[in-house]
């Protein structure tokens, strides 16, 4: 009698996939990935606050004032369209 035993399906483990891929890389590849990750951390967590400060929070208290400021700035930058006769 052929009876198959069904096992519950395992969930795909993303962490395990990346961990085994990282551990099987060459030394040069690991070094390059570490350099790239450190570079991203420096760009997003250290440089971003200095080059892109949140000016709306410093100038306006509530969301309505912020929205009004953004609307007026957008209207100033959109060129006026000419009416064709």
Q: What is the pLDDT of residues 67-81, one digit of tens each?
A: 898 888 888 877 766
User: 1-10, 19-28, 54-63 — which is least confidently predicted?
Assistant: 1-10
Cβ atoms within 10 Å, residue 51? 7
Give domain limits for the chain: 16-77
Residues 71 and 48: their CA atoms lie apart, in Å, by: 25
What is the residue-wise DSSP string for 49-79?
HHHS--HHHHH-SSHHHHHHHHHHHHHHHSP
Mean pLDDT, residues 59-67: 88
pLDDT digits (tens, 9 = 90+) for 6-43: 766 778 888 999 899 988 999 999 999 999 999 999 99
The larger pLDDT score, comparing residue 5 to residue 36, is at 36
Instruction: Give pTM, 2 decimals.
Output: 0.50
CA 42 vs. chain centroid, Å, equals: 14
Structure tokens at 42: 């420096």
């Amino acid at each position: 009698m052929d009876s198959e035993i069904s096992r519950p399906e395992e969930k795909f483990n993303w962490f395990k996939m990346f961990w085994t891929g990282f551990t099987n890389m060459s030394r040069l590849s690991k070094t390059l990935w570490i350099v790239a990750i450190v570079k991203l951390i420096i760009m997003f967590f250290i440089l971003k606050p200095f080059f892109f400060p949140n000016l709306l929070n410093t100038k306006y208290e509530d969301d309505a004032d912020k929205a009004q400021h953004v609307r007026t700035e957008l209207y100033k930058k959109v060129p006026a369209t000419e009416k064709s006769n």
